[in-house]
Amino acid sequence: MNTESKNTRLHKINRLMQKNISKILHTEIKDPRLQFMDILEVTVTNDFSLARVYYTLFNSDSLNNEETLKQVSELEKALKKASGFIRTKIAKNLQFRKTPEIRFIYDLRYKNKEEVDSILKNLSDNNS
């Protein structure tokens, strides 16, 4: 298999994992701590040993840093508790030969992008 077809296959697997994990989190797990999160991206390693699941909070821009950290901490506990269940459901739904370990990572890129956009908008408004 050439590199391009491997990358295409891996990209499809990443999207399938993202779609399935998101569905499982929002329909099959009833933990209220998981209500205000969104899965941004999933990256599976080439050897299928690990899936990194990047997530963010819906309302993190309305919280101060301390509240956000507390909410992320609670969310990490809930995700860690649910990760075995999610992995089992992924194995059943997608029927991969090998189901990767799932590691959840709070993604600051989205929050940082919003902050940069806000700064740029303010600069633009001041120059007008």
Q: Do residues 53 and 42 lie in contact, with contact meaning Cβ atoms separated by under 8 Å?
A: yes
What's the rounded mean pLDDT across residues 18-39?
92
- Least Cα distance to 103 among 50, 57, 55 occurs for 50
Segment 51-80 shows an average pLDDT of 84
Q: Where are the alpha helices (DSSP H) in the chain?
A: 3-27, 65-94, 109-127
**Would you say residue 30 has pLDDT above 80?**
yes
Instruction: Name which residue leads in pLDDT, 61 or 3.
Output: 3
Q: Is the pLDDT of residue 88 over 90?
A: yes
Greater confidence (128 vs 108) lies with 108
- pLDDT band, very low/low/confident/very high, at 64 (cuts 50, 70, 90): low
Mean pLDDT score across all residues of the chain? 85
pLDDT of the residue at 112: 54
Architecture of domain 3-127: 2-Layer Sandwich (3.30)
Domain borders along the chain are 3-127
* Residue 38, C-beta contacts closer than 8 angstroms, at least 6 positions apart: 22, 55, 56, 57, 58
Return the bridge partners of 103, or none. Answer: 52
The total number of residues shown for the chain amounts to 128
Burial of 17 (0-12, 13-18, 19+ CB in 10 A): buried
Name the more confident of 62 and 16: 16
- Does this model's pTM top 0.85? My answer is no
Query: What integer pLDDT is reported at residue 113 of this predicted model?
Result: 56
